[in-house]
Amino acid sequence: MKSFFQLLLLLLMILIAFFFYKEYFVAKKINKKLEVVEDIKEQNIELKSKNNFIKKLKYNVQLSGSGKYEINAKSSELTYIEGVEIVTMNDVTAIFIDKENRKISVRSDKARFNTVTNNTNFIGDIEILYLNNIITSEKLDFNFQSDNIIIFENVVYNGTYGKIKADNIRINLITKNIKIFMDNPKNKVKITSNY
DSSP notation for 122-155: EEEEEEEEETTEEEEEEEEEEETTTTEEEEEEEE
15 CB-side CA count, 13 A: 6
Q: What is the pLDDT of residues 58-69, one digit of tens each?
A: 888 888 767 889
- For residue 140, is pLDDT > 90? yes
Contact 138, 126 (CB under 8 A): yes
Give the span between the Cα atoms of 87 and 53, in whole angstroms. 10
Coil/strand/helix, residue 29: helix
pTM for this one?
Answer: 0.70
Q: What is the pLDDT of residues 157-183, one digit of tens each?
A: 998 888 999 999 998 888 888 899 999
| Residue 30 pLDDT | 45
| Residue 37 pLDDT | 45
- For residue 85, is pLDDT > 70? yes
Q: Give the length of the chain.
A: 195
Coil/strand/helix, residue 174: coil
> For the residues 127-147, what does the mean pLDDT come to?
92
Which stretches of 22-115 are DSSP H helices? Answer: 27-49
